A and B are shown apart, each in its own frame.
Chain A
């Protein structure tokens, strides 16, 4: 069981501060790469990053603390066949970079003739993720005031709201990648996000709801989304669930609301399409390119080029240009997600899915913005078609196993469907099933594709921002784990 978790509002104080100019010129990069190639490595790479972040968190109607951070560092990677040696440092003086390069080089001594470093040429990108209203336009006090407005809106929704926590996070992340094949890529990623967590209480029953919103943009986020309306919506979800009855247990028909529900496919199918699991033969999808693996209604995409999305970038953390990858096309498996290391291992081309949490990690194949394409069914009609089932309006965290594709997900907002109509809210439901089996069995796909609201983070030993999405879907049979036997 791989611990793969996509958490809507995992509230981790992030990282950073106003952009520091990084002193790295191609000449310095070249010297570092040469040092890393000294023992006969096939390929050397220098990765640098500069990240400035701000996080404010509110609880008990009080902004408890304000945190600003600066993270700068560099990592040097040397490839010897399938072995990657890596060393990193947070000191960017030339001497420290060279020391890291020598540590990476020292992982092997082949005594081969040293590879040359090809001319470093800066790669262009046509992609643009503009920031219309830079983070510094608002002083921190205004960001505190935003959290207070969210708090007041959520508490004002219903007297049963007993606790609200909310956080505001922004970061600017700049990365530079140089490698001995002449690659020189630069990227800048600006992310802003708000998370809201509401607790409602009636007698001894406590109910929590959480949600968030954000994107790759500046403070224009708050012109596009009404923070108070979002807060009221989270409050509504918590209050509704107070009256929920215990979820039924057993097999039933399930309808999943469009948007965030895509997290289930991210976990239960997406990870199994990442090339590290494919190369090791441990994924249920290994060796199945070209085969039918899903219902013909299903097309699954991973796309790092979608404007304003959290999972987007110009270049991945190997310096490979971002692209859209069709993973499953009308039920047929068409491609996996590759990073540089796994592509080298298999003699393939990277799909630009190499990502890392920071310079403290090596890149690994990761999803970006992953979603099921729109189908043709009217979402209303999907609902009407269900005689008895479960409507999953909000999914919580989940986990899946890439070997078998088994998954378990918690339903944080769920309702019974009876004769085509949503009836009682239910609590404590979990969905348990098998990703590829669900993909094969889905029998209705809505026309209402929606991506999540911009709060996704995916953990695979390292955390990276992602987006997920799906239209309304009908699954004819899924096991629901509940407490009402």
Chain B
């Protein structure tokens, strides 16, 4: 099968175009031009048969203008001369409808760092569509074979993208990079006389060939089988162990609470806690925009600031929040390179990059051995019950009941609830098994042993 790839692909060509567009702007203001180009493939298999095969090429332009502290943004997928001209002339006009803010400006150009981030797979194009289909089918086979009670799978999906980003601004910054990513995920369904259950398996990598379809499928199948027949437990306050997938979900919201944007706007339960202990002394939280092979790694952020490693919480003490240029300027500090943008359709905003809770050296088996009695949470259902502003945490959970370090029966139909500040203080053990989960970005967690959560069931 011939891949669908009609666009010019060089990084330099993209950068040249961004510079050219910038030079056409007539605005007497700060101007930033972002070009994002992507090629994506998606394969979905069901019952050994390809259900969907989707290929795409797309390109978008975003123009941000800041004039007298007023910000306007236009974007378009129309890169014809007229489309570009309209975006360029529209942004300054739009800025006039926004309110002035003295801290609003574009960052001055900083020299980029040149370390290898390992985000571009040189062999990406060599992976054929047939291989991607085979990979998806293998995920499905592995899920079905994981346990005799697996009766079906849902959405055995492979997707990948090659993305090229170019950014140029009136403050002298011009940069471009390319990255690749591939992901596989599947849901497996287990059924017996006790009922049904569903398990998820997923993985991602910079390179399609580094995905292990068997592992993804087995994870989904095992997970579904493990929690099959789960029953609620009596309502109690007790021990909860979060699997990395559940831990990463909690950390996703915690990461929002440590952005300067949330803190400055009073939308964080950690407001006014900088410099204070906020977690147990074994807890370290870091954001690393340059993590090798990281899903959110890039040489510069959404407004051209070099990315970096930020230690947000060290030995339990809240060291510093995540900043973009605007929030940093407001506090007279430096951006941490955390201006993120989802696509050319979005203004940059402060968001975590590769954000994680630092692992220990404790193997998960040992961590579990120390649990006298508690709930080992394998999957959660978040319901908007995690709130970084108030610190409320409440999710639906399923997993295994642990007695004396051993799983004794499946549990489902319960919620676990607490306050994030208590949860952070009550993390009594951290596993060695750091795993990144591609939620909205890349959030990583090891297995976490937490005391004092409310488990609500019967």
**B-binding residues in A (CB < 8 A):** 1-2, 5, 7, 13-15, 17, 20, 56, 59-60, 62-73, 82-91, 96, 99-100, 103, 106-107, 139-141, 143-144, 162-163, 165, 199, 201, 205-208, 249-251, 277, 280-282, 284, 360, 362, 396-401, 403-404, 406-410, 412, 427-428, 430, 432, 479-483, 485
Closest A residue, CB atoms, query B151: A281
* Given A70-B77, A139-B97, A483:B418 Cβ within 8 A: yes
User: Which of B50, B86, B267 lies in contact with A199, CB distance below 8 A?
Assistant: B267
Asked if residues B54 and A362 are in contact (CB atoms below 8 Å), the reply is: yes
* Bound-state Cα–Cα, A54 to B441, Å: 26
Asked if residues B384 and A397 are in contact (CB atoms below 8 Å), the reply is: yes
Excluding A13-B347, A141-B96, A481-B456, 10 further A-B contacts by CB distance (< 8 Å) are: A66-B72, A70-B83, A73-B77, A84-B52, A89-B57, A90-B58, A408-B383, A410-B383, A410-B384, A410-B394
Which chain B residues lie closer than 8 Å to A360 at the CB level? 56, 58
User: Which of B57, B101, B232, B418 lies in contact with A62, CB distance below 8 A?
Assistant: B101
* Bound-state Cα–Cα, A57 to B77, Å: 22
B250 at the interface (CB under 8 A from A): no
Nearest Cβ in chain A — how far from B106, in angstroms?
13
Interface centre among B1, B77, B187 (most CB of A within 10 A): B77
Asked if residues B99 and A428 are in contact (CB atoms below 8 Å), the reply is: no
Closest B residue, CB atoms, query A241: B390
Nearest Cβ in chain B — how far from A164, in angstroms?
10
Asked if residues B55 and A208 are in contact (CB atoms below 8 Å), the reply is: no
22 CB < 8 A contacts A-B = A17-B86, A62-B99, A63-B98, A65-B98, A68-B74, A71-B76, A87-B56, A89-B57, A91-B59, A99-B4, A100-B4, A141-B97, A144-B97, A206-B391, A251-B458, A280-B154, A397-B383, A403-B197, A408-B383, A409-B383, A479-B456, A485-B237
Which chain A residues lie closer than 8 Å to B60 at the CB level? 90
Asked if residues A66 and B56 are in contact (CB atoms below 8 Å), the reply is: no
Which chain A residues lie closer than 8 Å to B52 at the CB level? 83-86, 362
Closest B residue, CB atoms, query A412: B384
- The proximity string for B residues 39-80 relative to A, scoring 1 for CB distances below 8 Å and 0 otherwise, is 000000010011111111111100000000001111111110
User: Which of A63, A87, A479 lies in contact with B99, CB distance below 8 A?
Assistant: A63
Nearest Cβ in chain A — how far from B27, in angstroms?
14
Asked if residues B384 and A396 are in contact (CB atoms below 8 Å), the reply is: yes
Which chain A residues lie closer than 8 Å to B152 at the CB level? 280-282
* Bound-state Cα–Cα, A68 to B189, Å: 43
Nearest Cβ in chain B — how far from A147, in angstroms?
10
Which chain A residues lie closer than 8 Å to B237 at the CB level? 485
Closest A residue, CB atoms, query B66: A65
Asked if residues A406 and B396 are in contact (CB atoms below 8 Å), the reply is: yes
* Bound-state Cα–Cα, A419 to B57, Å: 62
* Given A103-B55, A398-B383, A430-B385, A479:B457 Cβ within 8 A: yes
Asked if residues A249 and B58 are in contact (CB atoms below 8 Å), the reply is: no
B382 at the interface (CB under 8 A from A): yes
Near A by CB (< 8 A), chain B positions 1-43 give 1-2, 4, 6
User: Which of A14, A68, A139, A408 lies in contact with B73, CB distance below 8 A?
Assistant: A68
Asked if residues A206 and B269 are in contact (CB atoms below 8 Å), the reply is: yes
Which chain A residues lie closer than 8 Å to B99 at the CB level? 62-64, 144
User: Which of A143, A281, A412 lies in contact with B97, CB distance below 8 A?
Assistant: A143
B319 at the interface (CB under 8 A from A): no
Near A by CB (< 8 A), chain B positions 358-390 give 379, 381-385, 387, 389-390
Which chain A residues lie closer than 8 Å to B381 at the CB level? 1, 399-401, 406-408
* Bound-state Cα–Cα, A144 to B53, Å: 43
Nearest Cβ in chain B — how far from A161, in angstroms?
11
B409 at the interface (CB under 8 A from A): no
* Bound-state Cα–Cα, A59 to B50, Å: 47
Asked if residues A206 and B58 are in contact (CB atoms below 8 Å), the reply is: no
* Bound-state Cα–Cα, A143 to B94, Å: 12
Asked if residues A250 and B235 are in contact (CB atoms below 8 Å), the reply is: yes
Asked if residues A66 and B97 are in contact (CB atoms below 8 Å), the reply is: yes
Which chain A residues lie closer than 8 Å to B198 at the CB level? 1-2, 282, 401, 403-404
Nearest Cβ in chain A — how far from B426, in angstroms?
14
B170 at the interface (CB under 8 A from A): no
Which chain A residues lie closer than 8 Å to B456 at the CB level? 249-250, 430, 432, 479-482, 485
Asked if residues A430 and B345 are in contact (CB atoms below 8 Å), the reply is: no
Closest A residue, CB atoms, query B157: A461
Asked if residues A404 and B196 are in contact (CB atoms below 8 Å), the reply is: yes
Q: Which 4 A-B pairs have the closest CB atoms?
A: A397-B384, A481-B415, A408-B396, A140-B97
B454 at the interface (CB under 8 A from A): yes
* Given A63-B97, A66-B73, A13:B345 Cβ within 8 A: yes
Nearest Cβ in chain B — how far from A139, in angstroms?
7
Closest B residue, CB atoms, query A400: B381
Nearest Cβ in chain A — how far from B341, in angstroms?
10
Asked if residues B396 and A107 are in contact (CB atoms below 8 Å), the reply is: no
Asked if residues B77 and A60 are in contact (CB atoms below 8 Å), the reply is: no
B313 at the interface (CB under 8 A from A): no
* Bound-state Cα–Cα, A450 to B101, Å: 41
B448 at the interface (CB under 8 A from A): no
Near A by CB (< 8 A), chain B positions 217-258 give 232, 235-237
User: Which of A1, A14, A20, A412 lies in contact with B78, CB distance below 8 A?
Assistant: A20
User: Which of A5, A91, A400, A403 lies in contact with B189, CB distance below 8 A?
Assistant: A403
B417 at the interface (CB under 8 A from A): yes
B265 at the interface (CB under 8 A from A): yes
Which chain B residues lie closer than 8 Å to A280 at the CB level? 46, 152, 154
B90 at the interface (CB under 8 A from A): yes
Nearest Cβ in chain A — how far from B1, in angstroms?
6
Asked if residues A87 and B4 are in contact (CB atoms below 8 Å), the reply is: yes
Which chain A residues lie closer than 8 Å to B196 at the CB level? 284, 403-404
* Bound-state Cα–Cα, A336 to B95, Å: 47
Which chain B residues lie closer than 8 Å to A60 at the CB level? 265
Nearest Cβ in chain A — how far from B423, in angstroms?
12
Which chain A residues lie closer than 8 Å to B2 at the CB level? 103, 106
Asked if residues A1 and B387 are in contact (CB atoms below 8 Å), the reply is: no
Asked if residues B74 and A82 are in contact (CB atoms below 8 Å), the reply is: no
Nearest Cβ in chain B — how far from A302, in angstroms?
22
Asked if residues B413 and A2 are in contact (CB atoms below 8 Å), the reply is: no
Nearest Cβ in chain A — how far from B409, in angstroms?
18
User: Which of B55, B86, B395, B419 lies in contact with A408, CB distance below 8 A?
Assistant: B395
Asked if residues A163 and B383 are in contact (CB atoms below 8 Å), the reply is: no
Asked if residues B72 and A65 are in contact (CB atoms below 8 Å), the reply is: yes
Asked if residues A72 and B266 are in contact (CB atoms below 8 Å), the reply is: no
Asked if residues A430 and B195 are in contact (CB atoms below 8 Å), the reply is: no
Closest B residue, CB atoms, query A434: B413
* Bound-state Cα–Cα, A17 to B90, Å: 10
B212 at the interface (CB under 8 A from A): no
Which chain B residues lie closer than 8 Å to A412 at the CB level? 384
Which chain B residues lie closer than 8 Å to A143 at the CB level? 97
Which chain A residues lie closer than 8 Å to B396 at the CB level? 399, 406-408, 430, 432, 481
* Bound-state Cα–Cα, A141 to B93, Å: 11
Nearest Cβ in chain A — how far from B64, in angstroms?
8
Nearest Cβ in chain B — how far from A45, in angstroms?
13
Near A by CB (< 8 A), chain B positions 139-169 give 152, 154
Closest A residue, CB atoms, query B397: A408
* Bound-state Cα–Cα, A284 to B415, Å: 22
Asked if residues B417 and A398 are in contact (CB atoms below 8 Å), the reply is: no
* Bound-state Cα–Cα, A22 to B369, Å: 65
